[in-house]
Structure 1
Amino acid sequence: MNKEQFRQQGIEIRKDFPLFNSADVVYLDNAATSQKPECVIQAERDFYEKSNANPLRGLYALAEKATKEYEDARKTVADFIGAADSSEIIFTRNATEGLNLAAYCLSQIMLKEDDEIVVSIMEHHSNLLPWQQAARRTGAVLKFIECSKDGVITDEAFENAITDKTKIVAMTQISNVLGSKNDIKKYASYCHDRGIVFVADGAQSVPHIPVNVQELGVDFLSFSGHKMFAPMGIGVLYGRKSLLEQMPPFLYGGEMIESVTRESAVYAEVPHKFEAGTVNASGAVALAEAIRYINKTGFDVIQEREDYLTKYAFEKMTAVNGVHIIGSPDASSHHGILSFTLDGVHPHDVASILDADNIGVRAGHHCAQPLLAYLGISSSTRVSLAFYNTCEEIDTFVDSLSQIRRQMGYGE
């Protein structure tokens, strides 16, 4: 595909997303949340206009229709990530809730004093804080696998962190700061050979690359709908059924029970045991529509465009005086995420000045403070790309970025 074909393809893709037709913004904060195509917005609206009833509760036709659409959405998710059975899909609010569920419930059946939980230094707080709390509740020890400054976890570093006391390993598939991709298939296999449970954070991978949980061999995988073109407030935790059946519930109340007496309760089967209260049925239906949109577009198109845009942005940014991209010097290792510092200018000021030019980027610690501390910085500015971004948007961003040091009084 030549540059003009790439540009035309981007123009057609952007027609699917209403925000780009109504807002004058260069949106480069896709790792925080994605924009929503019209078909997803309409799917959520259609649920409330045509199917709105409380799923799983009513025996009348409308409630049964709502239940079917909700469970059909579960099957769509299961197929999308290659789960063996739709009962291994638990709907949550987001990836954070899924990881909290896994950490809280696994800790009750797996951990005791002096057992070890291993996480990587590059984890988002959502895949760190739940394990900190699990260690405090049980007396287990939390250990870290460190990466190179380029964002690479070596086999030696991984294997040195694992001992005969290790019970759980939790790791992101793609870092939300460095964009680096971890070989979780290899690590999960290593863990399973030693009876260790592997929990993966797929928040930055599932929207951008094909993810098959059976091929990866992970025991749990959590991700958010809002990062993959679906609404906010819907997420997924995949769990291996044999483990889900052993785990106690996370929340208690309506719909997660089979029967209740004054003294006790019998809980519903998996996955409903973990979905207490009224569920986000419209969000699940819209998530299923987002998956159909991804499948229709094709990961071949998504990856090709995002790889091209990442390389294009990397080359343009590194040509700007004072810009330092964090992590690998190889653009192909960043998977759509380019965090950087600008000499003499605080990341918050960088983001504010860019905002004055209607350019949206993220600035701060990106919910990964231990990683930034390890890298010797307190904060950075992050550009994160999606397949609907364009070279013209990157040009606009880089033109603005190249003026910031001069605007702050540092000269050319």
Structure 2
Amino acid sequence: MGYVFIAFRSAADRDAAIEFFDGREICEGFIGKAKKAVYRKSKGKANKKEPTRKDDGEKIESTNTEVNTWYGLPQMSLWGAWEGVSRWWWGDWKGENGTSRSLQTGGNGNGNGTNICRNGAGCGLMKGNTEPNTCECEQDRAQHENLRKQHREKGRRDAQDALTDSISDQDDENKFGTRSGSTDANAKGVSGSGNSTTDILGSDPPLLSQLRPLDDLQLIERIRVLGLGAPERYATTRMLMEQLAEYYTEHPRTEVHVQGKSVPAHLLQGCLTSLDSMAWPPKRERRKVKADHYVVINMTKHYKDEYTPRVREACKALMDEMAPEYAFTHIAVTKNFVGSPHKDVLDTSFQFAISLGSFTDGGQLCVENTAGKCEGGTELFVVDTHNKLAKCDGRFIHWVRSYGGGDRYSLIFFTNSVQMSTPKTCAVFPNES
């Protein structure tokens, strides 16, 4: 396989890059975590021998001389959008006479520096140890030096964004605000620990939070669809999100209000009674979302369930009457879920959602529509699920508006079965709710 090596000046830059690349669809293979470098598998001719790596703090050594293709990241359009950390690139390189080549991450111009082009502009030229800081592209040194400064500055910003767990909701709200509504001392702004705080009834999370489920390529595509022009070459994730947030602030999304299908009282009472008496597991699933409790019931496994047997039975009775044709495999059961924009990436089809409890204001399910003519995310479905069953697609970004008056339970019926998969065509199905 071909490999891409990236050299970093600091552990902070390294950690920022690992967080950026790890788990991305574009990153095939795996991330190797060395002290000052990472590498990834890329498409290319497979080698019989996997490379070994030694990390002595300042040098990364590859003993695999069969690696014959090195990709220059600036020339790859998909990677070009993220020029985050201070690094060097090189193009084609082969091992010399079957021996390994040392790639050093340091260099001070006294002969102990790197044998890679120090200009940092991706010229792809390698030099021997006798010429550690020289390059055939001397005529472009001024331009290269300018690029190095830009890379270093962007790297500091990206590292700060990554190491501070993206952006705080408070910062988002200060800059872009939230949708306002009536205030109430009992409004639910439930934190991850389950503590209630005062919030604005019927408010949405800050715009930047709503955009977090999108990766860089999706952000860039949305910017293109909205006609906002091409992003800067060195635009960070934060910069892309802010560009979209500013657009949505100036051009508010169109809200489409929808109501779910009314559920008979005896089915509602059965579900609510089982939820009120439920003994919640001590460990909450999906800890990154804001909820007092969160548990997922697997309907495909038949085992002794000490927490949710009555809830399981009540939910089955509900769906047998309301949507008997829908073969759901799981039920997400939550208490006081609020905000938390996300996508249910493991879903293979649409889902059904219902909320119950004593809450009286707010608590609507909001689903961003990016299907059809709304490709730019300019339409927002606001779904009333209180004691109503709604059909929607969790593969679109969605969240719950703040609410007040009491507790809010939610039941989400979904499937991750490949046999039940359906295309992602509509965020909400108003005529089937």
| Normalised TM-score (structure 1) | 0.25
Rg bigger for which structure? 2
Question: Using CA pairs below 8 Å that are at least 6 residues apart, which structure has the higher relative contact order?
Answer: 1
More strand by share: 2
Structure number having the greater helix percentage: 1
